[in-house]
Amino acid sequence: MRWTRGRRWVAGFAAGLGLVAAGLMVTEGRLGLLPSTRRMWREARAKGQPWWLFFHTYVYGRFSYAYIGTAIGERGLLARVKRALSPLALRVANGRGWANEYHGKVLPTAAARRLVEVREDVAEVVPEQIIPFQSARDLVLSASGPVVAFDCPCRSARAEPCLPMDVCLVVGDPFASFALEHHPGRAREISRQEAVEILEAEADRGHVHHAFLKHAMLDRFYAICNCCSCCCGAMWAQRNGTPMLVSSGYVAQVDAQGCVGCRLCAERCPFDAVTVAGLAHIDAERCMGCGVCVRACPHGALALVRDASKPAPLIVGGDGAPTEGLAGELQEAPMGRRSG
How far apart are the C-alpha atoms of 159 and 144, rounded to whole Å?
37
Nearest to 282 by CA among 295, 269, 300, 264: 269
The arithmetic mean of pLDDT across residues 286-303, rounded, is: 95
Stretch among 53-57, 178-182, 260-264 having the lowest mean pLDDT: 53-57
The arithmetic mean of pLDDT across residues 101-125, rounded, is: 93
How far apart are the C-alpha atoms of 274 and 206, rounded to whole Å?
14
Contact 43, 138 (CB under 8 A): no
Query: Other C-beta atoms within 10 Å of 80: how many?
Result: 11
Q: Is pLDDT of 335 > 60?
A: no
The arithmetic mean of pLDDT across residues 324-331, rounded, is: 40
The arithmetic mean of pLDDT across residues 296-303, rounded, is: 94
pLDDT at 308: 94
Sign of CA dihedral 61, 215, 245, 94: positive
How far apart are the C-alpha atoms of 171 and 209, rounded to whole Å?
14
Give the pLDDT band of residue 333 (cuts 50, 70, 90). Answer: very low
Nearest to 137 by CA among 322, 325, 308: 322
Contact 330, 308 (CB under 8 A): no
Query: Other C-beta atoms within 10 Å of 306: how many?
Result: 19
Q: Is pLDDT of 10 > 60?
A: no
The arithmetic mean of pLDDT across residues 240-257, rounded, is: 93
Nearest to 220 by CA among 78, 122, 326: 122
How far apart are the C-alpha atoms of 193 and 331, rounded to whole Å?
19
Nearest to 70 by CA among 154, 184, 175: 154
Q: Is pLDDT of 28 > 50?
A: yes
pLDDT digits (tens, 9 = 90+) for 56-77: 999 999 999 988 887 776 555 5
3-state SS class at 160: coil
pLDDT at 99: 85
Burial class (CB in 10 A: 0-12, 13-18, 19+), 191: exposed
The arithmetic mean of pLDDT across residues 231-248, rounded, is: 91
Nearest to 225 by CA among 67, 78, 105: 105
Q: Is pLDDT of 83 > 80?
A: no
How far apart are the C-alpha atoms of 236 and 258, rounded to whole Å?
33
pLDDT digits (tens, 9 = 90+) for 136-195: 999 999 999 999 999 999 999 899 999 999 999 999 999 999 999 999 999 999 999 999
3-state SS class at 260: coil
Task: Give backbone dihedrals phi and psi of 226, rounded to 5 degrees, phi first.
Answer: -110, 100
What is the length of the chain?
340
Q: Is 45 left (phi over 0), alpha (psi -120 to 50) or beta?
A: alpha
3-state SS class at 94: coil
Mean pLDDT of the chain: 83
Q: Is pLDDT of 91 > 50?
A: no
The arithmetic mean of pLDDT across residues 70-90, rounded, is: 54
Contact 62, 237 (CB under 8 A): no
Listed ranges 20-24, 46-50, 209-213; the one with the highest mean pLDDT: 209-213
